[in-house]
């Protein structure tokens, strides 16, 4: 297969270029056979620069085959990717396909500006304020396809900039979350940026928004009232809960909720 490809490639490369070749022609075809021709030109799905026969120029901003699957209608990899975005609740921090909290960078904007390889790297080697989901290459590729699909047809500048994230070390750590929850949980908050440093409990970013998984009593969304019930006695809500009760005054609970809250206009 490889040898055949190479021979074919050499034959194409050695063929004389006709003088005055049609400038509108996709020069990708000098090196590659056509496929999916009925669905559009090469650059519709792969980006790239069709005006050059030089590979390095032709491949500018190229989308490799594995990241181009989102261009096929009803692709299994794409469906998996969309499912994973839900499963890991990426929208509790990011906007993708126009929906989500704006606690971190818009992934519609990132997908328009970064290469798929850069997106994959950001997911597999996340910054400190993003959970490490331990995703393998296959699932990361599926997610990147879902991000590219979500960004399709959206302009990169149609969203407001996100808050700058304080780095954890620089933060005073005097807020109620850092003091009472931060040893076990992390939180990307709208008000104070990245808080907490523990990974024993789940990352609580966007807990009180519609994008957080519905994990209260198995299938209910969290509210400030339900959070109060949980903190008083987690085992009254979830029989095998590992978290111990945390006693807060009414004022402290109000303060905590205000840190957890994501403004509705940021959703
Ligand atoms: C000069 C020959 C040449 C031209 C012109 C060219 N390619 Fe390629 N392309 C290659 C070669 C060789 C490879 C094998 C991988 C490599 O060396 O990068 C390749 C690989 C690819 C891949 C697979 C990349 C991957 O990682 O899976 C895609 C997709 C692709 N090319 C698309 C295009 C498109 C679209 C164009 C036009 C915009 C184009 N190529 C123009 C030679 C070319
Ligand atoms: C409708 C979208 C679409 C169009 C149009 C399209 N491709 Fe692809 N291409 C894909 C997908 C998806 C893959 C991944 C493999 C697959 O599903 O066939 C791919 C894979 C490739 C590969 C890598 C092959 C491999 O097996 O790794 C090359 C090279 C390539 N395309 C070149 C081109 C060129 C050149 C054109 C223009 C003649 C083109 N493609 C047009 C979607 C498209
Ligand atoms: C707890 C919040 C949080 C969650 C949940 C989260 N991320 Fe992130 N993500 C971040 C932060 C913070 C950054 C760094 C950029 C910034 O500060 O906005 C980031 C960066 C990224 C980037 C790079 C963006 C760019 O502009 O280069 C990608 C891609 C990304 N995340 C994908 C994902 C995916 C996919 C998921 C779900 C599997 C996910 N993230 C879940 C917080 C989060
Ligand atoms: C000593 C560690 C520890 C501390 C301190 C702690 N938690 Fe937890 N928390 C956990 C663990 C472990 C879980 C995992 C779920 C379980 O216990 O079943 C959890 C679960 C949760 C959940 C359920 C999330 C979900 O999706 O299932 C919420 C909400 C929560 N904690 C809020 C808080 C808040 C708010 C504070 C501070 C007031 C806090 N926790 C302090 C360890 C802790």
Pair 77, 138: CB distance under 8 Å: no
Q: CA 134, CA 5: separation in Å to the nearest integer? A: 36
Atom 19, ligand 2: which residue's CA is nearest? Answer: 65
Query: Candidates 1, 8, 45: which one to mutate for ligand 2, based on the most atoms within 8 Å of Cβ?
Result: 45
| CA of 68, closest atom in ligand 2 | 12
- How far does Cα 235 stand from its chain's mean position? 33
73 Cα–ligand 2 center, Å: 14
Determine the pLDDT at residue 154. 80
Q: How many CA atoms lie within 13 A of 187 on its CB side?
A: 30
50 Cα–ligand 1 center, Å: 11
Q: Which two tokens stand for residue 65?
A: 């085959």
What contacts 201, CB < 8 A, 6 or more positions away? 181, 184, 185, 243
Determine the pLDDT at residue 120. 98
Atom 22, ligand 2: which residue's CA is nearest? Answer: 65
Atom 31, ligand 4: which residue's CA is nearest? Answer: 201
Residues with CB under 6 A from ligand 4: 180-181, 183-185, 200-202, 204, 207, 215, 227, 230-231, 234, 238, 241-243, 246, 256
- How far does Cα 57 stand from its chain's mean position? 28
pLDDT (tens, 9 = 90+) of the chain, 267 residues, equals 455 554 444 444 444 444 334 445 789 999 999 999 999 899 999 999 999 999 999 999 999 999 999 999 889 999 999 999 999 999 999 999 999 999 999 999 999 999 999 999 999 999 989 999 999 999 999 999 999 999 988 865 555 555 555 444 445 678 999 999 999 999 999 888 999 999 999 999 999 999 999 999 989 999 999 999 999 999 999 999 999 999 999 999 999 999 999 986 555
Determine the pLDDT at residue 232. 97
């Amino acid at each position: 297969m490889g040898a055949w490809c190479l021979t074919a490639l050499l034959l194409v490369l050695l063929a004389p270029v006709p003088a005055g070749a049609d400038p509108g022609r996709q020069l990708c075809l000098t090196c590659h056979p056509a496929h999916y021709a009925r669905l559009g030109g090469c650059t519709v799905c792969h980006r790239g620069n069709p005006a050059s026969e030089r590979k390095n120029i032709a491949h500018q901003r190229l989308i490799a085959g594995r990241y181009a699957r989102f261009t096929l209608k009803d692709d299994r990899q794409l469906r998996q990717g969309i499912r994973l975005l839900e499963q890991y609740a990426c929208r509790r921090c990011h906007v993708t396909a126009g929906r989500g909290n704006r606690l971190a960078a818009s992934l519609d904007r990132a997908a328009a500006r970064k290469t798929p390889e850069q997106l994959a790297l950001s997911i597999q080697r996340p910054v400190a304020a993003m959970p490490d989901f331990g995703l393998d290459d296959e699932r990361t590729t599926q997610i990147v396809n879902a991000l590219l699909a979500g960004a399709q047809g959206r302009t990169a500048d149609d969203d407001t900039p996100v808050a700058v994230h304080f780095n954890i070390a620089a933060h005073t750590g005097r807020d109620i979350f850092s003091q009472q929850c931060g040893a076990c949980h992390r939180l990307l908050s709208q008000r104070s940026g990245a808080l907490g440093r523990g990974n024993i409990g789940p990352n609580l970013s966007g807990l009180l928004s519609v994008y957080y998984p519905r994990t209260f009593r198995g299938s209910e969304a969290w509210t400030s009232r339900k959070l109060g019930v949980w903190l008083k006695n987690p085992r009254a809500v979830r029989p095998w809960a590992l978290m111990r009760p945390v006693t807060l005054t009414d004022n402290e609970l109000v303060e905590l909720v205000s840190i957890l809250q994501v403004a509705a206009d940021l959703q």
